[in-house]
């Protein structure tokens, strides 16, 4: 079982990625983004898209290409990506700043079109409606306490698929829930956990 790790700075953090050569990149993301509440249709669309691109890859691969993804996908503004054409999809397949996967590119454009059909704020409301109650939820002490899917992520994935979204299965949906603060999966002794709880209100 793997609990928090203490780096040379003595601060306890969740162990994922922190023992790798990419430690500095992971540390910044872990300390300042992961698990903090994310709201706004475009912001959640970005997280949904990046988590879909991450499927089958390491998160550091996506994290380091995030500026490239933002440039390629018009800052993940739903209205702009929804207007992408087949020519745009072909252009993206030659863009070295992103993961050039035809199915994931097509899914991102498709998902923007679906999201554009929702009322303003509806995507935010939809995703957050699947956040589990925080009261009584077990606090993870080691990474072995975390599961790749939950009933809520399975239900969210099913709802998104029914609406026409693609490449958002239960595992991807749960990764998005973790990243966007719908759940707080920082370990019990992680120094960020309390800040995430406070931000969640």
Judge residue 67's burial from the number of C-beta atoms within 10 Å of its C-beta, 0-12 exposed, 13-18 middle, 19 or more buried. exposed
Both tokens of 197, joined, read 């709880």
Q: Do the annotations mark residue 190 as ligand-binding?
A: yes
| Pick from 157, 156, 159, 153: nearest CA to 174 | 153
Q: Do the annotations mark residue 39 as ligand-binding?
A: no
Question: Do residues 34 and 182 lie in contact, with contact meaning Cβ atoms separated by under 8 Å?
Answer: no
Both tokens of 168, joined, read 């958002």
| Residue carrying the six token digits 């207007």 | 83
Instruction: For the beta carbon of residue 134, count every other beta carbon within 10 angstroms.
Output: 12
Residues assigned a catalytic role? 29, 51, 59
State how far Cα 88 lies from the chain centre.
24
Q: Write out the binding residues for Zn(2+).
A: 14, 30, 186, 190
Q: Write out the binding residues.
A: 14, 30, 186, 190
């Amino acid at each position: 079982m793997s609990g928090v790790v203490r780096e040379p700075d003595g601060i306890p953090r969740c162990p994922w990625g922190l023992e790798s050569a990419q430690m500095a990149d992971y540390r910044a993301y872990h300390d300042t983004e992961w698990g903090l509440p994310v709201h706004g249709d475009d912001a959640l669309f970005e997280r949904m898209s990046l988590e879909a691109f991450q499927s089958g890859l390491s998160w550091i691969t996506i994290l380091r290409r995030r500026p490239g993804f933002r440039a390629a996908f018009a800052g993940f503004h739903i209205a702009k990506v929804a207007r992408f054409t087949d020519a745009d999809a072909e252009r993206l397949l030659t863009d070295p700043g992103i993961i050039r996967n035809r199915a994931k590119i097509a899914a991102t454009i498709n998902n923007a079109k679906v999201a554009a059909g929702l009322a303003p704020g509806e995507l935010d409301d939809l995703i957050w409606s699947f956040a589990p109650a925080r009261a009584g939820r077990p606090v993870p002490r080691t990474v072995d306490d975390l599961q790749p899917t939950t009933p809520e992520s399975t239900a969210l994935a099913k709802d998104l698929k029914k609406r026409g979204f693609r490449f958002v299965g239960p595992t991807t949906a749960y990764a998005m829930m973790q990243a966007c603060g719908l759940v707080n999966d920082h370990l019990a002794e992680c120094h960020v956990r309390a800040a995430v709880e406070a931000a969640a209100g």
